[in-house]
Structure 1
Amino acid sequence: MLKEKLKKYNIILASGSPRRQLFFKEMDIDFSIQLKEVEEVYPSHLQAAEITDYLAELKANAFKTCLDSNDLLVTSDTLVWLEETALGKPKDRKDAFEMLTCMAGKTHQVITSVCLMNLSFTKVFHEITSVTFKALTSDEIEYYLDTYHPYDKAGSYGIQEWIGLIGIEKIEGSYANVVGLPTHRLYKELMQL
């Protein structure tokens, strides 16, 4: 169904994330991967979804001059929003430990924005999922960091990994969004093209 809808497009996923690439495969989307280095800096006044919307579009704009008429570029950005603070990917182990310690026993929001771009349009949308962690012990956090090395993940964790299995008490919204792509929303937006 979706494959038929998208056959007129050359779908480009601009993401090095193996999780996003797997989602595209599982959604039966034919795509190629193209990557460009983009400095992910945003204006300091932006809050929550404004940040991820801005960064998803910033990543897409890096490709603007090299798109062909039948190209459809997909970029995205995910962050964790905790108590009015944006948590991106950790800088190092210490940073990851501090992030997880701050999130323990609290609810945070995982925000993923997606930008769809071709030569005739740009569309940005986002999803927000609330995730509640139990009170994690230092030993649990240390074990997770030693075993899974989640340094490529916003908020220093993967919901599909050990910490998600033992630590998440409640989730409100899209699970796939927390993994890194709001697949149900992406499907809806692509079907409307």
Structure 2
Amino acid sequence: MKKRENKLNLILASGSPRRKQLLGYLNIPFEIKTADIDEVSNKESPEEQACDISEQKGRAVFENIEAGDFLIISSDTMVILDGEIFGKPGNKENARVMLNKLSGKTHEVVTAVSFIDKSGEAINFFDKTKVSFNQIDPELLEEYLDTEDSLDKAGAYGIQGASLTFISQIEGSYSNVVGFPLEKVIQKLKENGYWTKLR
């Protein structure tokens, strides 16, 4: 097959194995480039904050790319309960506090995604999913915390991991809760003319 002249190089600006797996389902070749940022935003709403941090991640990679035709995809996920934003806990005690707050309640997962191409312009969007938790058994909670699976995930849990037992119901995109809203990513790639250039 003749290679297209307008072929875009796809770059995932994330070291997350979950995002890598989900993007891989599109059967589009991509490379991974990451850059450390503080993941801090002064925006007001959780949605704006997630979009801002996602764009920061993409821009940090953009600054280190040489010439070429490329599309950077970056992402950020937040958990929101009653207006409180839960990011990554970072340690076991923070994870325990987060999960005890989420126990028996319904929260929202917001995942923002950013596209940045060679023009340097960013396209930001987000998806939301409602997630309801069972009352978490204290013994199961401690067993889960001992695995340290919670430390690198927004809200201290991953829907695809051992904490799946905490969840009673989700309303919306499953992949959004994992950290990469695949359905919306495809939609936005098509809307913005990237889809055919990547395939």
Normalising by structure 1, we get a TM-score of 0.91
Residue of structure 1 in register with 2:139 after alignment? 139
Residue of structure 2 in register with 1:61 after alignment? 59
* Aligned counterparts of 2:144 and 2:62: Cα–Cα separation in 1: 39
Check whether the contact 2:34–2:61 (CA below 8 A) recurs between aligned residues.
Answer: no
Distance change in 2, residues 1:64/1:163 (3 Å)? closer
* Aligned counterparts of 1:50 and 1:107: Cα–Cα separation in 2: 21
Give the counterpart letter for 2:89 in structure 1: P
Residue of structure 2 in register with 1:128 after alignment? 128
Residue of structure 2 in register with 1:47 after alignment? 45
Check whether the contact 1:10–1:70 (CA below 8 A) recurs between aligned residues.
Answer: yes
Residue of structure 2 in register with 1:77 after alignment? 76
Gaps of 5+ in 2: 194-199
Matched, 1:115 2:95: no
Give the counterpart letter for 2:46 in structure 1: A
* Aligned counterparts of 2:144 and 2:28: Cα–Cα separation in 1: 33
Check whether the contact 1:131–1:171 (CA below 8 A) recurs between aligned residues.
Answer: yes
* Aligned counterparts of 1:108 and 1:12: Cα–Cα separation in 2: 31
Check whether the contact 2:92–2:148 (CA below 8 A) recurs between aligned residues.
Answer: no
* Aligned counterparts of 1:154 and 1:76: Cα–Cα separation in 2: 12
* Aligned counterparts of 1:113 and 1:96: Cα–Cα separation in 2: 22
How far 1:65 sits from its partner (Å)? 3.4
Residues 1-193 of structure 1 correspond to what in structure 2 (within 5 A)? Answer: 8-43=7-42, 46-67=44-65, 68-120=67-119, 121-147=121-147, 149-164=149-164, 166-192=165-191, 193=193
1:85-142 deviation per Cα after TM superposition (whole angstroms, max 9, x unaligned): 1100012001001100000000110110000001233210000000000111211211
How far 1:69 sits from its partner (Å)? 4.1
Distance change in 2, residues 1:25/1:104 (3 Å)? same
* Aligned counterparts of 1:26 and 1:97: Cα–Cα separation in 2: 33
How far 1:30 sits from its partner (Å)? 0.7
Distance change in 2, residues 1:123/1:163 (3 Å)? same
Check whether the contact 1:69–1:118 (CA below 8 A) recurs between aligned residues.
Answer: no
* Aligned counterparts of 2:21 and 2:79: Cα–Cα separation in 1: 21
State the 4+ residue runs in structure 1 displaced beyond 4 angstroms. Answer: none
Give the counterpart letter for 1:57 in structure 2: E
How far 1:191 sits from its partner (Å)? 2.0
Name the SS of the counterpart of 1:52 in structure 2. helix
Count of residues in correspondence between the two structures: 187
Check whether the contact 1:111–1:177 (CA below 8 A) recurs between aligned residues.
Answer: yes
Give the counterpart letter for 2:177 in structure 1: V
RMSD, aligned α-carbons: 1.7
* Aligned counterparts of 2:127 and 2:170: Cα–Cα separation in 1: 13
Distance change in 2, residues 1:63/1:163 (3 Å)? closer
* Aligned counterparts of 2:36 and 2:122: Cα–Cα separation in 1: 20
Check whether the contact 1:80–1:110 (CA below 8 A) recurs between aligned residues.
Answer: yes
